[in-house]
Amino acid sequence: MSAHHHKEDFLFKYVFSTDHKMISKQFLVTGFLMGFLGLVMSTLFRLQLGWPGESFEVIDMFMGSWAEDGVMSPDKYLALVTMHGTIMVFFLLTAGLSGTFSNLLIPLQIGARDMASGFLNMLSYWFFFLSSVIMLISLFVEGGAASAGWTIYPPLSALPQAIPGSGAGMTLWLVAMAIFIVSSLLGSLNYIVTIFNLRTVGMTMTRMPLTIWAFLFTAIIGVLSFPVLLSCALLLIFDRSFGTSFYLSDIYIGGQVLEHSGGSPILFEHLFWFLGHPEVYIVLLPALGITSEIISTMTRKPIFGYRAMIGSMMAIGFLSFIVWGHHMFLTGMNPFLGSVFTFTTLLIAIPSAVKVFNYLTTLWKGNIRFTPATLFSIGLVSTFITGGVTGLVLGDSALDINVHDTYFVVGHFHIVMGLSAIFGMFAGVYHWFPKLFGRMMNNKLGNVHFWLTIICAYGVFFPMHFLGFAGVPRRYYTNSEFPMFDNMIDINEFISMFAILAFFAQLIFFFNFVYSAFRGPRAPQNPWKGNTLEWTAPVEHFHGNWYGEIPHVYRWPYDYSKVDANGDYVSGEDYIPQTVPLGDNEKDGGH
Partner 1 sequence: MTIIVVVAIILLVITGSQLLKIAELRAKSKGELIYEVTEKEGKNLGLMLFAGFFVFMGFFAWQMWKWYGLRLPVSASVHGESIDFLSDLTYFIITPVFILTHAILLWFCYKYAYSSKRKAVFFSHSNKLELIWTTVPSIALTVLILIGLNTWNNTMAPVPEETEHVLLEVTSQQFTWTARYAGEDKKLGRSHVTLIEGVNATGIDKEDENSNDDKLVKGEFHLPVGVPVQFVFRSLDVIHSAYMPHFRAQMNCVPGLKTQFNFVPKITTKEMKKITDNEDFEYILLCNKICGAAHYNMQMNIIVESQEDYDKWLAEQKTFGE
Partner 2 sequence: MSMENINYKEEVRRKTSKPLLWIGIVSIIMFFSGLTSAVVVSQGGGSFLKIDLPFAFTISTLIIIASSAAFHFGLISVKKGNLAIAKISVLVTLVLGLSFILTQFLGWVALYENEVYAVGSQSTQESSYLYLLTALHIAHLLGGLISLIVVLVKTIKERYSVDNMLGMQVSITYWHFLGGLWIYLFFFLRYIIA
Within 271-330, the residues that bind Cu ion by CB under 5 A are 277
CB 126 within 8 A of CB 243: no
Give Cβ neighbours of residue 223 (< 8 Å, ≥ 6 apart).
185, 188, 189, 192
201: left (phi over 0), alpha (psi -120 to 50) or beta: beta
Taking the complex as a whole, how short is the minimal distance between the CB of residue 543 and partner 1, in angstroms?
Answer: 28
Q: Does 331 bind partner 1 (CB under 8 A)?
A: yes
Q: Return d(Cα 139, Cα 119) in angstroms, integer.
A: 31
Type of residue at 406: T
First to last CA, the chain: 56
The whole-angstrom separation of Cα 102 and Cα 211 is 8
Amino acid at 574: D
Q: Is residue 499 at the binding interface for ligand HEM, with CB under 6 A as the rule?
A: yes
Tell me whether residue 405 or residue 544 sits nearer to partner 1 (CB atom): 405
Strand-pair category, 252-253 with 256-257: antiparallel
Selected binder of partner 1 within 12, 129, 153, 318 (CB under 8 A): 153
Residues 90 to 119 in contact with ligand HEM, rule: CB under 6 A: 93
Region binding ligand HEM by CB under 6 A among candidate stretches 87-95, 186-194, 251-259, 440-448: 87-95
422 in contact with ligand HEM (CB under 6 A): yes
Pick one of 22, 106, 163, 427: the residue that binds partner 1 (CB under 8 A): 163
Q: Name residues contacting partner 1, limited to 25-44 (CB under 8 A).
A: none
Contact predicate 293/209, CB 8 Å: yes
Cβ proximity of 183 and 124 under 8 Å: yes
CB of 255 to ligand HEM, least distance (A): 28
Minimum gap (Å) between residue 195 Cβ and partner 2: 10
Contact 534, 88 (CB under 8 A): no
- Residues from 374 through 413 that contact partner 1 (CB under 8 A): 375, 378, 381-382, 385-386, 389-390, 392-393, 396-399, 401-402, 404-406
Please say which residue, 320 or 358, places its beta carbon nearer to partner 2.
Answer: 320
Taking every pair of C-alpha atoms in the chain, what is the biggest distance, in angstroms? 86
Pick 182 or 502: Cβ nearer partner 2:
182
d(Cα 216, Cα 221) in Å, to the nearest integer? 9
User: Is residue 232 a contact point for partner 2 (CB under 8 A)?
Assistant: yes
Contact between 475 and partner 1 per CB under 8 A: yes
Please give, one letter per residue, the 3-state secondary structure of 172-236.
HHHHHHHHHHHHHHHHHHHHHHHHHHCCCCCCCHHHCCHHHHHHHHHHHHHHHHHHHHHHHHHHH
Which residues touch 204 (CB under 8 Å, ≥6 apart)? Answer: none
Dihedral sign for Cα atoms in the order 364, 284, 221, 219: negative
Could you tell which of Cu ion, partner 1, partner 2, none binds residue 277, using a CB distance below 5 to 8 A set by kind? Cu ion
Q: Helix axis angle, 306-319 relative to 349-363, nearest 10°?
A: 160
Which entry of Cu ion, ligand HEM, partner 2, none binds 410, CB below 5 to 8 A by partner kind?
ligand HEM
Q: Give me the residue whose beta carbon is nearest to Cu ion.
A: 277
- Distance between CA atoms of residues 581 and 323, nearest Å: 44
361 binds partner 1 (CB under 8 A): yes
Q: Which does 505 bind (CB under 5 to 8 A by kind): Cu ion, partner 2, ligand HEM, none?
A: none
The region, left, alpha or beta by phi > 0 then psi within -120 to 50, assigned to residue 333 is beta
Residue from 93, 97, 178, 230 in contact with partner 2 (CB under 8 A): 230
Q: Which of 23, 63, 88, 429 binds ligand HEM (CB under 6 A)?
A: 88
Of 251 and 421, which has the nearer Cβ to partner 1?
Answer: 251
Window 295 to 324, contacts with partner 1 (CB under 8 A) = 299-308
**Which one of partner 2, Cu ion, ligand HEM, none is in contact with 117 (Cβ closer than 5 to 8 A by kind)?**
partner 2
Instruction: Give the per-residue contact string, 336-365, with ligand HEM (x = CB under 6 A; - = no).
Output: ------------------------------
Task: Give, to the nearest 10 degrees, the angle between helix 118-137 and helix 20-50.
Answer: 20
CA atoms within 13 A on the CB side of 540: 2
Q: How far is CA 358 from the centre of its chain?
A: 22
Complex with Cu ion: residue 20 or 277, whichever CB lies closer? 277
Compute the least distance from the CB of residue 316 to partner 2, in Å.
19
Helix axes 100-110, 265-299, angle to 10 degrees: 50
Q: What residues from 270 to 309 belong to the interface with partner 2 (CB under 8 A)?
A: 270-271, 274
Return residues touching ligand HEM (CB under 6 A).
Answer: 39, 42, 46, 81-82, 84-85, 88-89, 93, 149-150, 410, 414, 417-418, 422, 460, 474-476, 499, 502
Return residues touching partner 2 (CB under 8 A).
Answer: 113-114, 116-117, 120, 185, 188-190, 192-194, 196-198, 223-228, 230-232, 234-235, 238, 242-246, 259, 262-264, 267, 270-271, 274, 544
Return residues touching Cu ion (CB under 5 A).
Answer: 277
